[in-house]
Amino acid sequence: MRGSIKGNLPQNMVKGLNQAQKAAVEHFGSPLLLLAGAGSGKTKVLTHKIGYLIREKGIRPHRILAITFTKKAAQEMANRVETMLAIKPRSVSTFHSFCVRVLREDIASLGRNFDQRFIIYDQTDSKKTLKDILKRFNLDPKEADDAQKIISKAKQTYRGNMVEYISSLPYPQNQYAEVANVYQRVLEQSNALDYDDLIHYTTQLFVTSAATLGKWQDRYDFVMVDEFQDTNEIQYSLIKLISGKNRNNIFVVGDPFQTIYTWRGAVPENILKFGREFGATEMRLEKNYRSTRKILDVANIVIGKVDRMWADKVLTLHTDKEEEGVVEYHDSVDQDSENRHIAEKIRDLAAAHSYSDMAVLIRMSFLSRGLESSFMKYGIPYEIVRSLAFYERAEVKDLLCYLRLIANPRDRAAFDRVVGTPARGIGKKAIGVIAENFRTDWIQALRDAGLSRRQRGSADALINMLLKHGDAVEEKPYTVLMGIIQELNYLEYLKGEYKEDHEDRIENVSELCNVLLSIETEGKLFSEFMEDSLLASDQDRISQEESVKIMTIHAAKGLEWPVVFLPALEEGIFPSERSLASGAALEEERRLFYVACTRAKEGLYLSSVDYRMKFGRTSSMLPSRYIGEIKGSYSRK
């Protein structure tokens, strides 16, 4: 069998690679840390490495575990491997998707009240659950964001007892210890995991069950990790655990100067730690295939001023491209004139570029409003890429919660939404009575609750609906959805509840039906669809329409455009006001600027303003320090 796979592969797995890329692909027998600069072809190295391992080392495709951070990156890697090798890789995934796979198979080994049908709570579900718990403790529900962040950090750092860890924190963080305890119990009661639980419980499972860890270690002969600089503490622990039996067969790729997620737990020092603990060989990719020389000059100048702790890891990017490219800087009087300048520049560049060749990357989301207004006036098609996704819209969430509750009658967040939408005469007091009667699931709780005659009629109708569709939802979500819409008379509900925009909302429901019809036709399970939609990132939501993309720099990481605009380069915005008092935060702002610059392939257009309106008053602004540092590397327009 191994020979037949090998026979279908290209003869030379290193053809078309430069010397540094070739060395990384052919390295075998000891851990490898590859420092890969922006645009240096790391994805090409990763895919060729997979081919090399299959052809030259005889490793079966499904025994190579390749992990990255976004679904988009995982799909791109898998597609490249399939194109190159005519083999569909089955073990290319994100951290969270890998953990879902482990838990679907082995969550029972945790010894907790979860089963393989667990559902995954998104941020909205999680926050709603925390608000309800905070009320029980006579705490302000507005503190849900703070509680969520503390619980998330506790899970990411992986402490044996999360509640004890939060209790050890200083006030006011420690007041959320018991909140966290109840929160986890509520999730378990609902057979639900939140986003952080996926990695937390998988790591806990591997730590506490040697048999389970051994089983998963035995499945893989080689482990690869992309974007290693973005790993947090628990992700590093997970990689150490899964690679334990084949510790020499591990390959990680990263760039400490593209670490821009420390605010959500990333630990760039993991790169240094990996080198020490694994005794890894270090290689570098510094030849850039994306950007022109002038853009790389700017990037190299800025990143060359990093903290000396990283001095020996600095990558000096270079290119063989003959064209120099464009770096321009424009100083406007105020934000309105800056936005007009950008719109006029885009209109001029549209003679040689398509609109989808251009992006405006912003440090803070409030900047999108003025850009949007200017683009509308100039007739420039645009798309603002932001976190409010299709599946977070109220009417879509309503219907998905019905499907979720049918699939998992223990789901508390879905029950809370379903029981009151559309209104069926079951108010807060009655919901409290139902909750008190919860023993096994919400159907049982609805049956056993002492309700008024009218409420009993509504409760029984809901029970009948849930039971009627229970066996079908996993394999026929579209069929079930159409039945629910009809039984609830949901479209009429939307017309009455949302008089101003019900037509748009009905179109959203129509689109959800289209999506689920496709899922049902393909034979994909509803639970798989929910995982895919939850684990999608902002980048997965970018459309392919002919339009200028407006997005935050954080959302743009890993992407590229021929032309990039960076507006509002002013002290207090970029770098941000909050970062000015912290050396570590300023370092991250510098890395963020580096990432922003290296998204551009041909043209980089920088701008700032002299005055900006803040809270209705005119404030004088200073150009960002980065403008001063790169003086002489740009033309002024």
Per-run averaged pLDDT (10 residues), the chain, 637 residues: 47 83 96 95 93 91 92 86 82 93 96 93 91 93 93 84 90 93 96 95 95 96 95 95 92 91 84 94 96 96 83 88 94 95 97 96 89 93 72 88 95 94 93 95 96 95 94 93 95 89 84 89 89 66 75 90 97 91 91 96 97 82 96 88
Active-site residues, by number, are 42-43, 226-227, 258, 599
- Residue 270 burial (10 A CB sphere; 0-12, 13-18, 19+): buried
Parts of the chain belonging to CATH 1.10.10: 117-201
Which residue has 């890329």 as its token pair? 21
**Predicted pLDDT of residue 542:** 52
For the chain, report the end-to-end CA distance as a whole number of angstroms: 63
| 64, 112, 130, 164, 201 from 179: Cα distances, Å | 40, 19, 8, 12, 19
Query: Phi, psi at residue 614, to the nearest 5°?
Result: -135, 120
Q: Which fold has domain 390-535?
A: PCRA; domain 4 (1.10.486)
Dist CA 602 CA 624 (whole Å): 23
Dist CA 165 CA 177 (whole Å): 8
| pTM for the model | 0.82
Parts of the chain belonging to CATH 3.40.50.300: 19-91+220-285, 293-385+543-636
**Predicted pLDDT of residue 11:** 56
C-beta separation of 568 from 367 below 8 A: yes
Dist CA 371 CA 624 (whole Å): 20
| 154, 167, 220, 223, 232 from 158: Cα distances, Å | 6, 15, 24, 22, 10
- Number of Cβ within a 10 Å radius of residue 62: 14
Question: In this structure, which amino acid lies at residue 250?
Answer: I
Helix axes 195-208, 233-242, angle to 10 degrees: 40
Helix (H, G, I), strand (E, B) or coil at 94: strand
Parts of the chain belonging to CATH 1.10.486.10: 390-535
> What does the block give as tokens for 390?
């299709």
Q: How many Cα atoms within 13 Å fall on the side-chain side of residue 51?
A: 27
- Residue 389 burial (10 A CB sphere; 0-12, 13-18, 19+): middle
| Dihedral in degrees, nearest 10, Cα atoms 33, 36, 41, 46 | 20
**Predicted pLDDT of residue 538:** 53
**Predicted pLDDT of residue 393:** 81
Residues 6+ apart with CB under 8 A from 256: 35, 229, 268, 271, 310, 313
**Predicted pLDDT of residue 180:** 95
**Predicted pLDDT of residue 387:** 46
Dist CA 155 CA 94 (whole Å): 18
- Number of Cβ within a 10 Å radius of residue 369: 12
Q: What's the sign of the alpha-carbon dihedral 97, 100, 106, 111? A: positive
Residues 6+ apart with CB under 8 A from 122: 195, 391, 392, 534
Helix (H, G, I), strand (E, B) or coil at 416: helix
C-beta separation of 261 from 10 below 8 A: no
Residues 6+ apart with CB under 8 A from 523: 475
Dist CA 81 CA 45 (whole Å): 11
Reply yes or no on domain 293-385+543-636 having CATH 3.40.50.300: yes
- Residue 377 burial (10 A CB sphere; 0-12, 13-18, 19+): exposed
Dist CA 147 CA 131 (whole Å): 9
Choose the CATH number for 117-201 among 1.10.3720, 3.30.2020, 1.10.10, 3.40.91.
1.10.10
- Number of Cβ within a 10 Å radius of residue 217: 16
Task: Assess whether the previous peptide bond of 575 is cis (omega < 30° from 0).
Answer: yes
Give me the CATH code for the 19-91+220-285 domain, please.
3.40.50.300
> What does the block give as tokens for 342?
């950008």
**Predicted pLDDT of residue 220:** 96
Question: In this structure, which amino acid lies at residue 472?
Answer: A
C-beta separation of 361 from 552 below 8 A: yes
C-beta separation of 366 from 567 below 8 A: no
| 134, 302, 596 from 566: Cα distances, Å | 41, 15, 8
**Which string of b and e fits 297-318 if b means at least 16 CB within 10 Å?**
bbbbbbbeebeeebeebbbebe
**Predicted pLDDT of residue 287:** 95
C-beta separation of 229 from 255 below 8 A: yes
